[in-house]
């Protein structure tokens, strides 16, 4: 029997107006905006609906905004009778998966990811860290490039293993620049600097992880009702303690997205529904395995389309 996975995007997918169409037609969806505003003590919803994009893109705003939209979309699908067999999220998106799977409350998640963004923002001063997408190079050779640069005094490592031929590296600005040059010399097709506010998923984020651990200890974490696939280990997260460790390790560890998708396919998933703005994850899934079905839900029209399509399968 075919299975469904809800997948949730991370930072970079945010856009002004995300979720606005859903709240206009669904009172339950609007409640998530209200709960987020109340949990944070400021109007996140106004920022999501009106912008400006520069403010929305700040990591401590983007993280709770993407969480809110992802959970809102997943809940709308569940209200329509579409339940996932598995959930997974890319980086920050993993928290939307946790909420959807019943690991923690929405309000606690909003507060935690806001703090997570603040901790990440404080960990490395602006301009000192960087990330870049390396295209057309396998993980093994690219890891060797990063290790060589790091041995010379800089920090750079694999951060997001997204799909065949697309890997993101992260570290100090100089380290990433040196690794980009070395990767192209070693056969990479392209090295594209990313516009990000910090060196996410690198050793430079360990300070943020220590602070996040304290926050996580103050909230209730329970075993998932719907299995969640781990970014760090690309396997099913079974219990509360393992999930707490995942939340901490994920801050400075690579996101094994390609392995996550392959694991879900191995478990019988044939339909992936991306919950939230953009189509980044759906594109990655198709590059990993073209035989599976992918859908994106981000507004009223796409919600109706996906409900009809999945019910008709």
Query: Which residues belong to the active site?
Result: 91, 201
Of the candidates 247, 212, 243, the residue with the CA atom closest to the CA atom of residue 228: 243
Token pair 């280990």 is found at 233
215-to-54, 70, 115, 248 alpha-carbon distances in Å: 27, 22, 8, 10
Pairing of β 269-275 and β 166-172: unpaired
- What residues pair up with 132 in beta bridges, in sequence order? 169, 193
Q: Measured between alpha carbons, how far is 295 from 273 in angstroms, rounded to an integer? A: 5
- What residues pair up with 192 in beta bridges, in sequence order? 133
Pairing of β 293-297 and β 166-172: unpaired
């Amino acid at each position: 029997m075919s299975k469904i996975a809800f997948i949730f995007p991370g930072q970079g997918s945010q856009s002004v107006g995300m979720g606005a169409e859903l709240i206009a037609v669904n009172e339950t969806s609007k409640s998530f905006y209200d709960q987020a505003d109340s949990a944070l003590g400021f109007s996140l919803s106004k920022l999501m609906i009106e912008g400006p994009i520069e403010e929305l893109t700040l990591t401590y705003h983007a993280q709770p905004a993407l969480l809110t939209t992802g959970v809102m979309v997943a809940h709308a699908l569940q209200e329509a009778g579409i339940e996932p067999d598995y959930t997974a999220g890319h980086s920050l998106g993993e928290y939307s998966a946790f909420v959807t799977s019943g690991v923690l409350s929405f309000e606690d998640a909003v507060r935690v990811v806001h703090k997570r963004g603040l901790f990440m923002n404080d960990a490395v001063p602006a301009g000192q860290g960087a990330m870049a997408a390396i295209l057309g190079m396998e993980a093994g050779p690219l890891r060797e490039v990063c290790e060589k640069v790091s041995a010379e005094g800089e920090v750079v490592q694999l951060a997001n293993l997204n799909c065949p031929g697309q890997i993101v590296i992260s570290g100090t600005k100089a380290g990433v620049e040196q690794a980009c040059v070395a990767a192209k010399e070693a056969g990479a097709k392209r090295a594209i600097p990313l516009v990000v506010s910090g060196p996410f998923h690198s050793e430079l984020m360990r300070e943020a992880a220590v602070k996040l651990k304290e926050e996580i200890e103050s909230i209730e974490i329970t075993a998932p009702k719907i299995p969640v696939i781990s970014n760090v280990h690309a396997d099913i997260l079974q219990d509360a303690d393992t999930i707490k460790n995942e939340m901490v390790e994920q801050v400075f560890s690579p996101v094994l997205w390609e392995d996550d998708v392959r694991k879900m396919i191995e478990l019988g998933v044939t339909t992936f529904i991306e919950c939230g703005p953009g189509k980044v994850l759906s594109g990655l899934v198709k590059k990993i395995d073209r035989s599976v079905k992918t859908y994106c839900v981000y507004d009223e029209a796409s919600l109706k389309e996906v409900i009809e399509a999945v019910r008709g399968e």
